[in-house]
A = this chain, B = another copy of it.
Amino acid sequence: MNMAQNCLFCKIAAGQIPVVKIFEDEALLGFLDIGPLSDGHTLVIPKQHFERLHDCPGEVLANICRRIGTIAKAVICAVNCDDYNVLCNNGRAAGQLINHLHFHIIPRKTGDGLFNNWPAYKYKEGRCEAIADEIRKNL
């Protein structure tokens, strides 16, 4: 098992730090965030250490996401709400505080005020196509 020294989530995955678990198998762990944004706010992590989504092999991501809908459904049933975000922050500028890949499942209620800043803009002419060309070159 690939572990990183001094990684909080590696220690949690190894059972060295207690958490309130909701799901566990050989590869994944789901537990409640102790600093939730809403009741039932859940974290799902691979037990192996990967820093970011794009560091993680496709099959490991597939294994997480194969289960994440089922886990999300159980979370929203438990807290009696319909809506939720699944959020994966990658890098400090994106709000990642623990450098071990994790998916937030965040139950939402109308008007709760979370993530309501959505300052969408329009591309200048040609910019969107130029960026898409560059993305395709990198794929």
Which residue in B22, B83, B87 is a CB contact (below 8 Å) of A86? B87
Which residue in B88, B132, B138 is a CB contact (below 8 Å) of A20? B132
Q: Sort chain A's interface into a size bin.
A: 35 or more
Contacts A37-B119, A53-B68, A128-B32 given; does A85 touch B74 at CB 8 Å: no
Contact A70 B58 (CB under 8 A): yes
- Cβ < 8 Å to B, chain A residues 73-99: 73-79, 81-96
Chain B residues positioned under 8 Å from A111 (CB to CB)? 93
Chain B residues positioned under 8 Å from A113 (CB to CB)? 117, 119
Smallest distance from the beta carbon of A25 to chain B beta carbons, Å? 12
- Cβ < 8 Å to B, chain A residues 57-73: 58-59, 61-73
